[in-house]
Amino acid sequence: MTKASSASPAPAYVWEDVKMKNACLQYRCIKCCLDTKMPLSNSDIVRIRSLGFPEDFFVLKKNVNRRLRNLSGRCVFHNGQRCTIYNCRPEGCQIYPVVFSDDVGEAVLDSYCPHHGKFQLTPGISRKVIRLVRKLDAEKTHVSETHRNAQRQGIRESKPSAY
């Protein structure tokens, strides 16, 4: 297994031309990495596999949901100090603490993040969250339909072909 290269300290983000310092790195906060349930898209899995990590090392599958695996109470890629795949981390990690709220039907800043007030919720980042939610839903639907079709034909698949 290949280990990802080390991340550079405190990168800046540009969301809708607003430069923001990453509060997570600034405050050395890892709260969102603890017992994470971060969903993974097909492109997340392909990107992380390209670093040399086998899928079963970092993907936890529950029915049609795929999410980051935890090890010792934190994301498998967090070493206690930092994310070891920071530059290639999943899309959901990249846009956090902006999440989609089913209650209000739109992107919001997650109050679980102790530094959510340091981030701005812009129309651009809201669109990214909505695109990601739609992408994940479409991928789950595809996997679900693949399984149903296989069952109808009497074929048992150990893995969906989309992986």
- Average pLDDT of adjacent 10-residue blocks, the chain of 163 residues: 38 36 80 95 96 97 92 95 92 93 93 91 93 93 60 49 39
Give the whole-angstrom CA distance, residue 97 versus residue 118. 10
- The DSSP secondary structure of 116-139, one letter per residue, reads GGGS---HHHHHHHHHHHHHHHHH
pLDDT at 140: 87
pLDDT at 52: 97
pTM of the model: 0.74
pLDDT at 100: 93
pLDDT at 81: 87
pLDDT at 48: 97
Where in the chain are the domains? 23-152
3-state helix, strand, coil in the chain (%, to 5): 35, 20, 45
pLDDT at 155: 54
Closest by CA position to 133, among listed 39, 31, 34: 39
Q: What are the φ/ψ torsions at residue 111 (nearest 5 degrees)?
A: -70, -15
- Rg over CA atoms, the chain: 17
Q: What are the φ/ψ torsions at residue 114 (nearest 5 degrees)?
A: -65, -15
pLDDT at 28: 86
pLDDT at 33: 95
